[in-house]
Amino acid sequence: MSLKIGTRGSKLALVQTRKVTDALQQRGIETETVVITTPGDAKTGVPLHAIGGQGVFVRALDDAILEGRIDAAVHSMKDIPSARPEGLSTCAVLRRDSPADYLVHSCDLEEIRVVGTSSTRRRAQLLRSALPIEVRELRGNVDTRLKKLERGEYDAIVLAEAGMQRLGLDLPGTRLLPQWYVPSPNQGAIAVVCRNDPGCIEQFHPLDHFQTRKEVEVERAVMEEVGGGCFTPMGIFCESGFLIAEVLALDGSRWERIEDSGDTIEEAREIGQKLRTIACDMIEDARISLWVSE
The predicted-structure confidence for 120-136, as pLDDT tens digits, reads as follows 999 999 999 988 999 99
Write down the catalytic residue from 8, 96, 128, 139: 139
167: exposed, middle or buried (C-beta count within 10 Å: 0-12, 13-18, 19+)? middle
Write down the catalytic residue from 62, 71, 79, 101: 79
Express each pLDDT in 229-249 by its tens digit.
778 999 999 999 999 999 999
The string of DSSP codes covering 97-155 is ----EEEE-SS-GGG--EEE---HHHHHHHHHSS---EEE---S-HHHHHHHHHTTS-S
Express each pLDDT in 158-199 by its tens digit.
999 999 999 999 999 999 999 999 999 999 999 999 999 999
State the total domains in the chain. 1
User: What is the rounded distance in angstroms from the CA atom of residue 291 to the CA atom of residue 74?
Assistant: 30
On whether residue 139 sits in a domain, the answer given is yes
**Contact at 8 Å (CB) between 116 and 155?**
no
Q: Does 230 participate in catalysis according to the annotation?
A: yes
Task: Note if the pTM is more than 0.95.
Answer: no
Write down the catalytic residue from 8, 78, 166, 213: 78
Give the model's confidence band at 52: pLDDT under 50 very low, under 70 low, under 90 confident, else very high. Answer: very low
On whether residue 201 sits in a domain, the answer given is no
Domain that holds residue 160: 101-176
Q: Check which CATH number belongs to the domain holding 168 and give it.
A: 3.40.190.10
Write down the catalytic residue from 121, 128, 166, 220: 121
Tell me the average pLDDT of the chain. 92
Q: What is the mean pLDDT of residues 246-262?
A: 96
Q: Does 139 participate in catalysis according to the annotation?
A: yes
Q: Does 122 participate in catalysis according to the annotation?
A: yes
Give the model's confidence band at 49: pLDDT under 50 very low, under 70 low, under 90 confident, else very high. Answer: very low
User: What is the rounded distance in angstroms from the CA atom of residue 276 to the CA atom of residue 261?
Assistant: 17
Write down the catalytic residue from 8, 96, 122, 213: 122
User: What is the rounded distance in angstroms from the CA atom of residue 31 to the CA atom of residue 39?
Assistant: 25
Neighbours of 97 (CB within 10 A): 20
Q: Does 213 participate in catalysis according to the annotation?
A: no
Q: How high is the pLDDT of residue 228?
A: 77
On whether residue 132 sits in a domain, the answer given is yes
Torsion angle in degrees (nearest 10) through CA of 28, 32, 35, 36: -90
Q: What is the mean pLDDT of residues 80-105?
A: 95
Q: How high is the pLDDT of residue 55?
A: 66
On whether residue 160 sits in a domain, the answer given is yes
Give the model's confidence band at 290: pLDDT under 50 very low, under 70 low, under 90 confident, else very high. Answer: confident
Q: How high is the pLDDT of residue 294?
A: 43
On whether residue 65 sits in a domain, the answer given is no
On whether residue 143 sits in a domain, the answer given is yes
Give the model's confidence band at 93: pLDDT under 50 very low, under 70 low, under 90 confident, else very high. Answer: very high
On whether residue 22 sits in a domain, the answer given is no
Write down the catalytic residue from 145, 166, 213, 276: 145
Q: How high is the pLDDT of residue 221?
A: 97
Q: How far is CA 252 from the centre of its chain?
A: 20
Q: Tell me which of 212 and 45 has the higher pLDDT.
A: 212
Express each pLDDT in 28-44 by its tens digit.
999 999 999 876 554 45
In degrees rounded to 5, what are phi and psi of residue 192?
Answer: -115, 130
Q: How high is the pLDDT of residue 40?
A: 55
Lowest-pLDDT choice from 38-52, 79-93, 112-126, 246-260: 38-52
Q: How high is the pLDDT of residue 244?
A: 98
Q: Does 175 participate in catalysis according to the annotation?
A: no
| Element spanning 5, H or E | strand 3-7
Torsion angle in degrees (nearest 10) through CA of 78, 84, 89, 93: 10
Helices (H), 227-293: 265-278, 280-293
On whether residue 7 sits in a domain, the answer given is no
